[in-house]
Structure 1
């Protein structure tokens, strides 16, 4: 910690007297490498499907992303398998630091997979089509029975999880294979965009907003008019197959021939689309696995760098690398991106009186920087405390600052910490943290000085 004490002459007119008030200004040392925080960075995908990768093989993760088929979460009508989702939250909570969770609900997989909506629902007479081998049922998304029970499903899970302080987002799924708003892996079926009108599919966007009104939401970039509608309502967006430079074709790719055009079309339809990141997350999932980028696609370092640069330019908060090993040749690019993805808060400076009195207040004037490319989307409280040499908390308070409004760039803040009338003379430490609802420090700052309980020791003050 670099501490400099200034003497500020505050001219207070007393008979023949001038009072000198010493001020302390600190500029806490910054960290330069990746830091891990809830709701940002690289995703853990379905708990790594049981694989235990080291941090040398896969970066530390800030979000646990899981997707569930309807047949898994409601195998019997009205009996919801909350345990599956609860397990995702438990897994995220055990991680150090604790992660947030992202969720998606799905109704289809592939033609060979078998039906992914429960049998009891099919037996109710839901319209749809079977594959030629009668193995997999694809529901009619505009069927009244299917619509009714879809809303019931989402409502049940929304009642339990909406507003959960560790739910980073709900992914607007339920439409198409894997909830990805397409059925291109069912060649015998009419493509979704030709089979249904935007008005018909809009019902699924509305369902998610109805069931999860408090939770941030994200919508697939391939949603067309429904993407525009969802972001206009306050959703962020996501894209699958990030990093496709020649995964499907040598003459066409998503990075140059699809994503940019979809973004421009959405912006043309609604002028606020490119600012959606200011209100809700932008999230990506890579194409294939990064090991395949090396061994099959033979992507150069320049191509991989372009992939992550593009994600940062879209103000991405998270990227799902699918919990598979990152080749060593690409790891430096990933780690560099981790210094930008999502939010990255740093206390640049703090100033306050060097000396305080019992029963008074300590005014803390701070300058903060968000060095990431996005804000934080869940609520945490910026807090300060005074501790003595024995690490006993003497005074503590939460500011009224809503750090969700801290976009990339600089921000100043001021807080008056009330001091107890019993404050003993002596030296005290000033500490800062961002707390969850339970009062636990959850956000890692890009500063040195972190204590064992997650607070940051940033300055000193003397009481007399």
Structure 2
């Protein structure tokens, strides 16, 4: 197994009269990105709230199931205090929440999750021995209450940066949109449409997910503003026609990851054995299930996160833990800066016009789904005073297909200044002290690439009286330039992070 690809970082720094040139190249290494936000493996809130993280495994999100009964007390009356408590606790740990409301949870008492006021007149079905009881999901009164609750939740929480992803839930066992093996009792497409329409009109900012590509009401999977979650990941992900990825292809939604997030849960029976040195043999010792290839699952689905409780609850040996961390890193985005070039565009006696060109690409399997900026800052290295900060939006389209782009930051720097430039990524959706760390060798946990101090001298291109002020006012704006496709070399570099 290869964890790190290491090559030396090189740079050239030249400070001569009227010229400033700096050229640094970087090499891909994602090993420092395990704690990056809004991606990777996710533990269950109720465990990490009450128990230590036994392996000190890096993570950035926690998932929480919400019983409908806890937040709805009448047809139009709600109590969100329990959600607020959860969000506060998770945010205090500098993490995001993944939320899902459910009505029936096999193995648990329906009385604990279905609101009391809904029981009168509602048909309750008995499932198999391991399923317990569940309500009639075609009952219009129940659906109306679900819709009312969705609208209230959207009004309260849409755009709340403490929430990473909201899973649609509500219908079916665990809110997973099925009542298997009692399929005839599940909600009709008419009732599915009402739930999906309520979510799409109420959550315009927070990213949504639903369980199945082929269970999306009377509309296609791509008609709704939703992503998807595979809650039997690495077991039912690809292969047969009914499996997660195969269904996405059948309904024409296999490219949905380009705009909507894919997530899910590793099949629980496979959690203890999936990242053993010989996963198939290890899993056969504890279950009849045979795990699928992890890399293939991630590549096909472009998954951003997976729930994976086991490594947060059970001690692991060093090798298994290393494989688990590398598997988590493979999920989601991975921003790689291949070059930073600093050039002098123009100068006068009183100042220089400096262009910082950052070549960046996303080598990961999925984009960062919330607003993202690439930022540059200039600081006087003697006084530590800020000279200038500039930001460029990194559009989602620039994060696809491993294409690289050059982001140009144009800055005015006064002559005879010791200046230090730094580069970093940021998002308005980060919580607490979260940082997005670049996938480069020797990456700083601060997420900042700091360039060497440069002395900006005077130049002789103009004298001090030659229209210096008008030149300074003419400093250009930021820009983005497309570069060539990175190609298979970096693809292989990425895949080398994880191998059985």
CA apart distance, 1:409? 1.1
- Contact residue 437 and residue 446 of structure 2 kept, 8 A: no
Structure 2 SS opposite 1:159? helix
Name the CA shift for 1:196/1:131 in 2 (closer, same or farther; >3 Å).
Answer: closer
Indicate the residue corresponding to 1:315 in structure 2: 302
CA distance in 2, matches of 1:408, 1:44: 29
Counterpart Cα distance in 1 of 2:187 and 2:42: 32
Structure 2: distance between partners of 1:445 and 1:136: 47
Separation in 1, partners of 2:134, 2:292 = 39
1:145 Cα deviation (Å)? 1.9
1:259-285: CA deviations, max 9, x gaps? 54x533443333xx1110111111120
Question: Secondary structure, in 3 states, of the residue corresponding to 1:173?
Answer: strand
Q: Aligned partners of 1:94, 1:111: CA distance in 2, in Å?
A: 31
Q: Report the counterpart of residue 226 of structure 2 in structure 1.
A: 235
Cα distance in 1 for partners of 2:237, 2:394 equals: 40
Match of 1:291 in 2: 272
Q: Distance in 1 between matches of 2:26 and 2:10?
A: 6
Looking at structure 2, the residues matched to 166 and 291 of structure 1 have their Cα atoms a distance apart, in angstroms, of: 30
| 1:390-433 CA distance string (max 9 Å, x none) | 5432210111332564124132223333436xx46222111111
Contact 2:373–2:392 (Cα < 8 Å) also in 1: yes
Question: What is the TM-score normalised by the length of structure 1?
Answer: 0.80
Structure with more relative contact order (C-alpha pairs < 8 Å, separation 6 or more):
2
2:446 pairs with 1:446: no
Q: Secondary structure at the residue paired with 2:141? A: helix
Corresponding position: 1:142 with 2:133: no
Verify the 8 A CA contact 1:26 1:350 in the aligned structure 2.
yes
1:53 match: 53
Deviation at 1:383, TM superposition (A): 0.9
Question: What's the offset of the Cα at 1:162?
Answer: 0.7
Cα 1:452–1:409 change in 2 (3 A) is closer
Q: Give the conservation status (yes or no) of the 8 Å contact 1:38–1:63.
A: yes
TM-score (norm 2): 0.74
Aligned CA-pair RMSD: 3.5
What is the aligned length?
427
The Cα offsets for residues 290-345 of structure 1, whole Å up to 9 and x where unpaired, read as 22668764379xx6571343123311110111243374364343233233210011
Query: What's the secondary structure of 1:343's corresponding residue?
Result: coil
SS of the counterpart of 1:221? coil
Show CA shifts across 1:78-119 (max 9, x none).
553333323333333333xx3332211111112651332210
| Structure 2: runs of 5+ lacking an equivalent | 1-8, 277-281, 458-500
> How much does 1:236 deviate?
1.7
Any conservation in 2 of the 1:340–1:372 contact (CA below 8 Å)?
yes
Q: Which moved more, 1:168-177 or 1:447-456?
A: 447-456
- The answer (yes or no) to whether the contact 2:136–2:186 under 8 Å persists in 1 is no
Partner Cα distance (1:158, 1:61) in 2: 26
